[in-house]
Structure 1
């Protein structure tokens, strides 16, 4: 495979074409801005897994421009003092042990994209021009003066010397996502009238000066690359033709490689591709650049499918592929692909619930399908000291993960599933074409259970009596949840069906559809049906849709629902369902009627706790995981499963 052929970026030789893209790591950063030991373990695990180059998340070269004067805590990696050479050196040595290279991603700051107003504490962020801050439009950025720019150039020069001494192999400039460098590059945010504004040449001047300073310290043989969006997909933002011109200009300036992505903070579902974007969603952008320059082009964006990644290289669309969330989910991706073990790859499911959300909430980075992410050393699986008989009740994602981990550790594991197949709520959840990745997760878990010798029994509903008959020492209850049927007049009518039944084709659906409930299930059902040509209305009692979705996926979902013409009624309560449709009331109390062939219920789920309660007084040790505790997401089910099964 071309994926595993050596490749060159400038004078740097990589053992294969797989690069870990830079991403935030949250609380794996120590409070002084150093990389913690857990952070080193996190990156090293990906190097051990066969990745050719590890890229850090953004490393700040200065705390002058965006430091909170009231807080001593740094929330980003720093490289503005000799003391930080230590973490670069320790990380570079550790990844070099596995034949991987280290790329340090340098960044000047966020500018207008700084954090939420309540966290900014009176800070006025620096920017290219005085423009509204993204999260607080009443606050304008402080335009950087020439003295500020010169100071920043000095900061980059100093950082270059530190990372060179630390043993890094490459530097990448973070010029994407609408952050500070991107704000200089883009006329939507750059309103300057001096030599740093106006023409494309002027808007690129700061980047060119940084490259020149870096090369002056590092030498022309030390590779410097740039990551930027070819297209912001935002009115007034960069479009692909100018993006290609930028690529040519950067090549002429001596840049050694380009990582091409898309989007900005306003269209973050492109920068961090949402579950609704197809795999390889930015490959065509990478191809445009590949056709325009001779330096290596690195593609990024949902490339975790090995066949798509390989095709990106063999077709010439890119010279390298970069993986972010794919390697968070499975650090051994490269080794598994090399060995042809595709079914052993734990797939990223594009949920953001463990990675981006954890960081957003102030936690260390995590993963919905890999509970060891960010805690690789402590959470590594070890053989069980005493082999036990383990019964897992339920073959949803939590139950399958618990069975996989317990069996891997040497326990004798049996799974009882009352239905005729595996997956639980993953079944209906993976039915829409845009949720196909969840079917891949099911296939992965089934394959792992087969490999570990788990005995799966279908059509077996657990009771206190039949559990007692087999005398398990451990019972893990993963019984899941059931759809709620709300107390609405007419809810038992023939035209009323559950969303899960529609998604799995167990219930027919008419042309005019009303969906009661605008959470993630209701929204995804609506999108699925409207793409099939049906007329869809969502009735939601709360003031907004998708409150249980992470904001990146929610942002894209709302855009798609609007574009596809789904009618949305918020702060509306359904009063009655009849053969003609739905009667509902606005917040004011005004009543209306909606005509519908089919009314779909998507108002949430209730936990199935009965079997866990029935087993509490028995001799076996009982653990409950996932939705049978409280209906939540795949992330909670699989993480609880892993954590319990690794200790029993």
Structure 2
């Protein structure tokens, strides 16, 4: 298998072709810029899982610019002093113990891409004085020649730290519209000196950084560059220039290239949203592969082993990099190696445990793998006492609770009142662009079967049946049902819930009005538009998609606009009449939208009846998931895992 064959970056031999791509670990970084023990455990777990090259999150080489020492959100890794040799060396030693190599990704800064909260505290830097993306009133400070020289000196000093720490490879962060990317791109670089103008001048800063690193590390030490072949943004880089950059970087002594796409304005390319296809940047990597002889790494939704292997066999890339896929399953490589691909936990591209948590100043974790970021604390141990456990409800939380309880040695039964497992994942995975949730459902079902969970479908739980079974512990995961609002006409024959529509229990006519513009309403609207329906959304709040994480929301809003879906916000529905949906718009004007079908997507109500009836009748009773209140997959699976690991 090509994926498992060794490969080289420079003279460094990697045991296979799988790379863990750089991701900020959030609050696993301590406020002084060193990596905590939890952070070391997090990276080492991926090395233990078989990954060939582990890459850290972006690491700063100087605190002179853009440093917010008291903010956990900006608490990025640091290597600006020899004192930091210790954390890097401890990480390198842990990674090396499992035969993997360590790359440290270095960054020069964020510039105009700084977060809005931090712009009030620091002065953003850049090649030119331009408006910051998230606060156009704030201009970046144009770096002077002296300041550029001090940044170059910092890279050379950092090289000494990394060399002492026995790091194997250095990668430069030159993507995502960050500082080096800004120097490389005429849209953001309007300098008139040797650092601006033609492509060679715009690459000068990067080429000089490579030179300083080689000076400090040695000419044979591998230095890689990660950059976007295209920004998918007006005025940004086009693929033709991206390929020319690859040629010039190879000539400058760069040892490998990681190819992605996008910038801060098109973040859903840099961090592909759940609405993007698999292997999203592979064809871009293939263009570079044809132009250079140094290794090319492709990144971007490469978690499907079949596609990863195919990419290597077709010569479109030399290495496969994954980020979120290895958060979901640190043992991805070992499972591929062992022929157990059905046991791989699939990443669902939700950003909830990774990017959202980092953005909120929390430690990185994963919606579908609660042990991520808690590798030592959340390690599963055999149960001290074997119990009989009943899980009521077969949604993601219930299945995860059953899986973990069975893994720990308990005797587990799962009762599901419907004829299929999955809960609200079933309608949620109805559209083709949500297919990944079908994979998660398949994974969980397989695990239940593999670990001997006794599953009973179409089994309605009652207190009497539970008492007759006599379990030691009961996990209640009875989920939630769609809210039917008290709107006149909500009982008309042409009114359906989004759940009924997405599971095929109802069909939509040619003209559809969706009441509710949250994530369910927006996804249902896109699904129907793709089927050729004319769709409108009526939303009470000031904006649609407010419950979506901003990267997915950014992409969803673009897709809805491209599909010509009308979105009416600050609008309150008063009646569903024969003529259509009657509502008051943002100006208070009473209007009617004609509709063949009206779809209700106004939230979910917890199913609490059984829980209330069981309270006081079972010694160990654990409610999880939607029965406690509306949950996303992340909360449901986290609660299921946490309860089951302590049973």
Q: Same fold (TM over 0.5)?
A: yes
Does residue 154 (structure 1) correspond to residue 153 (structure 2)? The answer is yes
Q: Is the 8 A contact 2:60 2:77 kept in 1?
A: yes
Output aligned runs, 1:396-407, within 5 Å: 396-407=395-406
**Which segment drifts farther, 575-584 or 248-257?**
575-584
- d(CA) in 2 for partners of 1:67, 1:252: 33
TM-score by length of 1: 0.99
Question: Quick one: distance in 1 between partners of 2:476 and 2:50?
Answer: 36
- For residues 338-371 of structure 1, give each alpha carbon's deviation from its aligned partner in whole angstroms, at most 9, with x where no partner exists: 1111110000000000110011111000100000
Q: In the alignment, what sits opposite 2:518? A: 519
Q: State the partner residue of 2:644.
A: 645
2:363 counterpart residue number:
364
Greater shift after overlay, 175-184 or 122-131? 122-131
The change in CA–CA distance for 1:73 and 1:634 in structure 2 (over 3 A counts) is closer
- Contact map agreement 1:68 1:120 (CA 8 A) in 2: no
* Corresponding residue number in structure 2 for 1:59: 59
Against the structure 1 CA distance between its residues 157 and 363, is the aligned structure 2 distance closer, same or farther, given a 3 Å change threshold?
Answer: same
Alignment of 1:346-365 (within 5 A): 346-365=345-364
In structure 2, the CA distance between the partners of 1:631 and 1:74, relative to structure 1 (3 Å rule), is: closer
Looking at structure 2, the residues matched to 514 and 121 of structure 1 have their Cα atoms a distance apart, in angstroms, of 42
Once residues 321 and 29 of structure 1 are traced to their aligned partners in structure 2, the CA distance between those partners, rounded to angstroms, is: 26
Q: Tell me, in whole angstroms, the C-alpha distance in 1 between the residues paired with 2:282 and 2:589.
A: 50
Q: Does 1:298 align with 2:271?
A: no
- For residue 21 of structure 2, what is the aligned residue in structure 1? 21
- In structure 1, how many angstroms separate the alpha carbons of the residues matched to 2:547 and 2:27? 24
Distance 1:609 1:185 in 2: 57
**Could you tell me how far apart the structure 2 residues matched to 1:206 and 1:616 are?**
66
Matched, 1:381 2:380: yes
Give the whole-Å Cα distance in 1 for the aligned partners of 2:460 and 2:57: 47
CA contact (8 A) 1:31 1:73 kept: no
Instruction: Output aligned runs, 1:439-518, within 5 Å.
Output: 439-518=438-517
Aligned partner of residue 31 in structure 2, secondary structure? coil
Partners in 1 of 2:456 and 2:337 — Cα distance?
A: 34
Given that 2:32 and 2:69 are in contact with CA atoms closer than 8 Å, whether structure 1 keeps it comes out as: no
Q: 1:485 to 1:504 in 2, by over 3 A?
A: same
Residues 497, 601 of structure 1: 8 Å contact kept: yes
Alignment partners' CA distance in 1, 2:175 and 2:230: 10
CA distance in 1: counterparts of 2:12 and 2:437, whole angstroms: 37
Instruction: Give the structure 2 partner of residue 267 of structure 1.
Output: 266
Deviations 1:375-403 (A, max 9, x none): 10010000000011100000000000000
Deviation readout 1:127-180 (Å, 9 max, x if unpaired): 110001111110000000000010001000000111011000000000000000
Aligned counterparts of 2:70 and 2:641: Cα–Cα separation in 1:
39
Alpha-carbon distance in structure 2 between the residues aligned to 1:191 and 1:74: 28
Distance in 2 (alpha carbons) for counterparts of 1:611 and 1:164: 61
Gap change, CA 1:10 and 1:141, over 3 Å in 2: same
Secondary structure of 2:57's match?
strand
For residues 585 and 34 of structure 1, the distance between their equivalents in structure 2, rounded to whole angstroms, comes to: 55
Counterpart position of 2:9: 9
* 1:104-503 alignment runs, 5 A limit: 104-116=104-116, 118-503=117-502
> What's the counterpart of residue 75 of structure 2?
75
Name the SS for the 1:90 alignment partner. helix
* Structure 1 range deviating more: 342-351 or 586-595: 586-595
Deviations 1:576-633 (A, max 9, x none): 1123321111133211111110000000000011111111110331111111101120
Distance 1:616 1:230 in 2: 58
- Deviation, structure 1 residue 220: 1.9
Query: Deviation at 1:463?
Result: 1.1
Q: Secondary structure at the match of 1:275?
A: coil
- TM-score, normalization by structure 2: 0.99
Report the counterpart of residue 47 of structure 1 in structure 2: 47
Q: Do the aligned partners of 1:228 and 1:259 also contact (CA within 8 Å) in 2?
A: yes
Structure 2 unaligned runs (5+)?
none
Query: 1:260 is paired with a residue of what secondary structure?
Result: strand
- The alpha-carbon distance between structure 1 residues 147 and 296, as it changes in their structure 2 partners (threshold 3 A), is same
Q: Which residue of 2 aligns with 1:36?
A: 36
Q: Secondary structure at the match of 2:525?
A: helix
Q: What whole-Å deviation, never above 9, does each CA across 1:541-572 have from its counterpart, x for those lacking one?
A: 11100011000000000000001111111111
Aligned to 2:561: 562
2:370 partner SS = coil
- Gaps of at least 5 residues in structure 1 are none
Tell me if the contact between 1:32 and 1:74 (Cα under 8 Å) persists in the aligned partners. Answer: no
Give the whole-Å Cα distance in 1 for the aligned partners of 2:587 and 2:184: 48
SS in 2 for 1:233: coil
Q: Matches of 1:69 and 1:371 in 2, distance apart?
A: 28
Residues of 1 paired with 2:72 and 2:646: CA distance? 37
Q: Within 2, Cα distance between the matches of 1:121 and 1:263?
A: 26
Q: How much has 1:73 moved relative to structure 2?
A: 9.4
Structure 2 CA distance for aligned equivalents of residues 470 and 357 of structure 1: 42
Give the Cα separation in 1 of the matches to 2:359 and 2:385.
39
Cα RMSD of the aligned pairs, angstroms, is 1.0
Instruction: Count residues with an aligned counterpart.
Output: 647
Q: Is the 8 A contact 2:65 2:123 kept in 1?
A: no
1:519-538 map, 5 Å: 519-538=518-537
CA distance in 2, matches of 1:173, 1:133: 22
1:393-450 superposed Cα distances (whole Å, 9 cap, x missing partner) = 0000000000000010011100000000100000010011110010000111011111
| Distance in 2, Cα, partners of 1:593 & 1:612 | 42
In structure 1, distance between residues paired with 2:310 and 2:496: 42
- Within the alignment, does 1:102 sit opposite 2:114 as a pair? no
- The 2-side partners of 1:492 and 1:18 are apart by 54
The 3 A distance-change label for structure 1 pair 54 and 207 is: same
SS at match of 2:99: coil
Output the CA distance in 1 between the equivalents of 2:402 and 2:466. 17
CA contact (8 A) 2:281 2:299 kept: yes
Contact 1:471-1:620 at 8 Å conserved across structures: no
Give deviations 1:510-567, integer Å, cap 9, x for gaps: 0100000000000000000101111000000111000110000000000000011111
CA contact (8 A) 2:415 2:460 kept: yes
Q: After superposition, give the CA deviation of every residue in 1:441-475 in whole Å (9 maximum; x if it has no partner).
A: 01110111111100000111111111111111100
Shift of 1:70: 7.1
